[in-house]
Amino acid sequence: MEPILQVSHLSVSLPGKNGPAPILKDISFSLKQGEILGLVGESGSGKSMTAFAVNQLLPGGGKSITGGSVLFAGEELTGKTEKQMQTFRGKDIAMIFQEPMTCLNPVFTVKRQMTDVIMIHEKRSRKEAEIQAADMLKKVHIRDPERTLSCYPYELSGGMRQRVMIAIALSCSPRLLIADEPTTALDVTVQAQIIFLLQEACQESGTGIIFISHDLGVVSQLCSRIAVMYAGTMAETGPASEVLKAPGHPYTKALLAAVPRFTSGGVRDRLYAIPGMVPDPSEIQRGCLFAPRCPHAMDICRTEHPPIQNLGNQHQVSCFLEKGVSRGDGIS
């Protein structure tokens, strides 16, 4: 099956303190219909910028993309004008942001915001759009859709606002949904409900989902594939079960080791923190960007960009270490 999204060798530069700074470097990944891809990595690794690049919403516009391609259903999105992109956004490609208050308009009711989207993209009358909006709110398990429709965003709790955002995002049955940390600000029970909704959308409508998260626990429950980003590069991509059980990149191992765990006796393990910091994109960058923090860095890692290694089963790692060597390190 042809992927719904194919990102190849994508590079993005944005103005930095020393001139243009490389924010994304040679990023490649793909997403099939009905698949959920978890995009993970520390803060500043470029997850949101990847989402913005796919949607052509980068600060500075299309000229920020310095190379590579973004194919959506076989159609190249880089180079599209703002007007051309508007025919995709909201309809074929929907996005959910971490903080829904930044996306919901505070001066309009939920009804107005939902019906506007449906009327524009689905060419429905106001009456039809209102019925569809109420149906969508029921789908995201809002008990009293009529009351919620009449509310302004500030009258709703964080979890309700996030559900409204999801309802808006799903109201035009998008083929691609990008959810940028949609549950980070929510408590665990609401988080579980939102995850369930995304799974439902994926199974019922075949929507392909990019789920951006810090939380490897959530990603392991939800996603069939995982892409691990580090400092604007793609460190590892592969089936979730393999990446989580047999990570090939020392950075993925370190991220997994940093997940808080309980021992069999119910006692919390000592937390592991990855030493050092993600490099500033404005600084000159050479070799593997993880090398200064990597327990296995060799001389070559500090001077040359690591090649992509295929570990089979569409599992790829960008690292000089041999597969066998990289798995026998001290981080467990």
In the shown chain, the binding pattern of residues 182 to 221 toward ligand ATP, with x for contact by CB under 6 A and - for none, equals --------------------------------x-------
Total binding residues for Mg ion by CB under 5 A?
1
Residue of 102, 101, 103, 110 lying closest to 152 (CA atoms): 110
Measured from the CB atom, is 47 or 175 closer to ligand ATP?
A: 47
Q: Which is nearer to ligand ATP, 178 or 244 (CB)?
A: 178
Which of 55, 281, 306, 309 touches ligand ATP (CB under 6 A)? 281
- 224 touches ligand ATP by CB under 6 A: no
Distances (CA, A) of 144 to 56, 112, 148, 149, 157: 36, 17, 6, 9, 14
Binding-site partner at residue 149 among ligand ATP, Mg ion, none, CB < 5 to 8 Å by type:
none
Candidates 1-9, 36-44, 201-209, 313-321: pick the segment binding ligand ATP (CB under 6 A): 36-44
Angle between helices 126-139 and 158-170 (to 10 degrees): 120
Taking CB under 6 A as the criterion, the residue among 10, 23, 156, 168 binding ligand ATP is 23
Q: Which is nearer to ligand ATP, 174 or 281 (CB)?
A: 281
By CB under 6 A, residue 47 contacts ligand ATP: yes
Name the helix (H) or strand (E) containing 84: helix 82-86
In the list 22, 34, 38, 44, the residue contacting ligand ATP (rule: CB under 6 A) is 44
Choose among ligand ATP, Mg ion, none what residue 281 binds, the Cβ cut-off being 5 to 8 Å by kind. Answer: ligand ATP
Which of 43, 263, 264, 332 binds ligand ATP (CB under 6 A)? It is: 43
Place of tokens 């019922």: 204
Secondary structure class of 146 (helix, strand, coil): helix
- Among ligand ATP, Mg ion, none, what does residue 44 contact (CB within 5–8 Å per kind)? ligand ATP
Tell which one of 8, 11, 28, 48 touches Mg ion (CB under 5 A): 48
Return d(Cα 140, Cα 265) in angstroms, integer. Answer: 38
Of the pair 78, 184, the CB lying nearest Mg ion is at 184
Q: Which is nearer to Mg ion, 134 or 216 (CB)?
A: 216
Helix 158-170, helix 110-122: angle, nearest 10:
10
Q: How far apart, in whole angstroms, are the C-alpha atoms of residue 211 and residue 37? A: 6
**Beta strand residue intervals within the chain, DSSP E:** 5-16, 19-31, 36-40, 65-72, 75-76, 93-96, 176-180, 208-212, 225-230, 233-239, 308-310, 316-318
- CB-wise, 91 or 214, nearer to ligand ATP? 214
DSSP string, 228-295: EEETTEEEEEEEHHHHHHS--SHHHHHHHHTS--B-TTSPBPPPP--SS-PPPTTS---S-TTGGG-T
**Sole binder of ligand ATP in the list 3, 11, 14, 33 (CB under 6 A):** 14
| The two three-digit tokens of residue 54, written as one number | 């796919």
User: Residue 304 has which token pair?
Assistant: 């040359």
Across 65-81, b (16+ Cβ under 10 Å) vs e yields beebebbbbeeebbebe
Task: Give the binding range for ligand ATP (CB under 6 A) out of 41-49, 249-257, 267-275, 290-298.
Answer: 41-49
Two structure tokens written together for 270:
């000592």
Among 9, 59, 203, 295, indicate the residue that binds ligand ATP (CB under 6 A).
Answer: 59
33 or 48, CB closer to Mg ion?
A: 48
110-129 residues in contact with ligand ATP (CB under 6 A) are none
Binding site for ligand ATP (CB under 6 A): 14, 23, 41, 43-49, 59, 214, 281
Binding site for Mg ion (CB under 5 A): 48
